[in-house]
């Protein structure tokens, strides 16, 4: 029997994923839960296991291509009897289970509410049939606003363009063309009316390619044509020798959307504090030389992280979230401390859960592990959600200070500057000391200047004299 494996929902409401690498090829035999592909969501690279054993008969997307949730990813000949291709098979052998979970119970095909089989690494199996279609359509209708009429080109223009793709009649006002939120955003940016686009995806779903084809086929009107310029510099959209075009997707796309949303939602204010951190650097060096801590890499970042956790206890307003929908400020019981990490795929901010409960050594180990997995592209989606406040270490790039943008939903973000030896007043004299600048950006809806200053000075006091931390425990 030939069975199709649709791309599952990998969580967080993501509607598509990009194929990073195939681990199998057509003709390969795969085992149950064998990793078949690496796919990139908006935040992380996820390994996909096979939901059944058999021989791979088709790969429905190439590396670098984007696949919508629910669209076929690969097909496999399971070698089982059946009345036709794609027929459902609920045998225990074709049902992957989580380690130690035992065999999954048989599913009643007549009960729509029965959970599907669980793939290792993610939740319930993807629904199929009319109910799934109804739910996905309803979800798209609830989450995505209608495309403003003034941004849509006339239907006649798209239909009359030479080589234009087939178009469908405009949907009634009560219905919306079937597409995903990223595709709707693309259509809005390109000025394409989704009601005039024929979807070539599964069950008529409008894909990126459909939108791009409609945009390229639409004739350029005189009103939208750029006037001729006498300047010799490169024009927007013009191709030039040596230009490099990089698709906006994956982590870069998610980061851009998150930063724009944060910058234009939360009123940002930044405060700065320059301090003598010689005592902190002495502490770091002494711990590295202590055999009792061999195998543990304590860094200035770890000390700052511990200071942030202690200071947040004294100023709980910084560990909070503004909830517009409920008109409430939520102060969190724990500090899920985000650590910004620069990777080849872009900036990610995994977080250490309940960081306030960890010792300095445990916190150093947790931060080191997060940084390693982030650089290797193995960060789990769970580590990228639920953060309550964050730290970014711009000092490793030789930068003294900055005005970092908040992660959406967080009240503060602290930037660590570079540690520099410079003349500084010390005990009434001028001496060479190790100095750092801290930059604290905060959401002024949640945090006032006095609260931000109290938090920042508490962090600075601990870094100036780590023993002071004993007075804050």
Catalytically active residues are 444
Cα dihedral sign for 139, 141, 147, 148? negative
Element housing 383 (H / E): none
> How far is residue 187's CA from residue 184's CA, in Å, rounded to a whole number?
5
Element housing 460 (H / E): helix 449-464
Alpha helices in 315-406 (DSSP H): 360-375
Give the dihedral of Cα atoms 152, 156, 161, 167; nearest 10 deg. 80
| 193 HSE (CA, 13 A, CB side) | 19
Element housing 185 (H / E): helix 181-190
* Distant-in-sequence, close-in-space partners of 276: CB < 8 Å, separation ≥ 6: 424, 426, 433, 434, 435, 464
Q: Is 96 exposed, middle or buried (0-12, 13-18, 19+ CB in 10 A)?
A: buried
CA angle 433, 438, 440 (to 5 degrees): 170
Tokens representing 319 are 């560990």
Phi and psi, residue 130, nearest 5°: -60, -35
Alpha helices in 239-393 (DSSP H): 250-263, 278-289, 300-314, 360-375
> How far is residue 358's CA from residue 371's CA, in Å, rounded to a whole number?
17
* Distant-in-sequence, close-in-space partners of 368: CB < 8 Å, separation ≥ 6: 297
Cα dihedral sign for 326, 330, 336, 340? positive
Tokens representing 260 are 């724009």
> How far is residue 99's CA from residue 136's CA, in Å, rounded to a whole number?
30
Residue 377: other Cβ atoms inside 10 A? 17
């Amino acid at each position: 029997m030939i069975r199709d494996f649709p791309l599952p929902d990998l969580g967080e409401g993501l509607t598509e994923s990009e194929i990073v690498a195939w681990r199998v090829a057509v003709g390969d035999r795969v085992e149950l839960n064998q990793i078949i592909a690496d796919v990139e969501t908006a935040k992380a690279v996820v390994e996909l296991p096979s939901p059944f054993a058999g021989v791979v008969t088709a790969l429905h997307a190439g590396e670098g291509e984007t696949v919508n949730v629910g669209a076929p990813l690969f097909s496999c000949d399971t070698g089982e009897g059946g009345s036709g291709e794609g027929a459902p098979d609920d045998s225990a052998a074709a049902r992957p289970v989580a380690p130690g979970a035992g065999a999954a119970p048989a599913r009643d095909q007549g009960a729509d509410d029965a959970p599907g089989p669980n793939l290792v690494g993610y939740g319930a199996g993807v629904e199929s049939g009319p109910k799934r279609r109804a739910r996905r359509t309803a979800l798209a209708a609830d989450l995505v606003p209608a495309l403003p009429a003034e941004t849509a080109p006339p239907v006649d223009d798209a239909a009359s363009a030479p080589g234009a793709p087939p178009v469908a009649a405009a949907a009634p006002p009560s219905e919306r063309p079937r597409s995903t939120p990223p595709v709707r955003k693309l259509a809005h940016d390109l000025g394409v009316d989704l009601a005039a686009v024929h979807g070539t995806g599964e069950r008529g779903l409008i894909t990126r390619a459909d939108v791009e084809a409609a945009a390229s086929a639409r004739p350029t009107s005189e009103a939208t044509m750029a006037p001729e310029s006498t300047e010799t510099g490169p024009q927007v959209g013009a191709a030039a020798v040596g230009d490099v075009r990089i698709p906006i997707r994956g982590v870069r796309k998610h980061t851009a959307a998150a930063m724009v949303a944060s910058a234009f939602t939360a009123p940002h204010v930044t405060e700065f504090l320059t301090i003598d951190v010689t005592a902190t650097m002495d502490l770091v060096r002494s711990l590295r030389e202590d055999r009792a801590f061999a195998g543990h890499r304590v860094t200035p970042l770890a000390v700052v992280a511990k200071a942030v956790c202690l200071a947040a206890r004294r100023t709980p307003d910084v560990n909070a979230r503004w909830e517009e929908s409920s008109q409430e400020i939520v102060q969190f019981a724990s500090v899920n401390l985000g650590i910004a990490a620069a990777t080849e795929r872009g900036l990610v901010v995994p977080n250490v859960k309940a960081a306030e409960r960890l010792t300095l050594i445990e916190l150093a180990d947790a931060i080191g592990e997060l940084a390693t997995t982030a650089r290797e592209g193995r960060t789990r989606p769970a580590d990228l959600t639920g953060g309550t406040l964050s730290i970014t270490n711009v000092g490793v790039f030789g930068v003294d200070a900055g005005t970092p943008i908040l992660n959406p939903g967080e009240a503060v973000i602290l930037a660590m500057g570079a540690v520099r030896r410079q003349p500084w007043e010390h005990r009434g004299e001028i001496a060479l000391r190790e100095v750092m600048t801290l930059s604290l950006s905060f959401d002024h809806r949640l945090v006032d200047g006095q609260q931000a200053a109290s938090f920042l000075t508490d962090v600075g006091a601990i870094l100036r004299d780590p023993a002071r931390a004993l007075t804050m425990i």
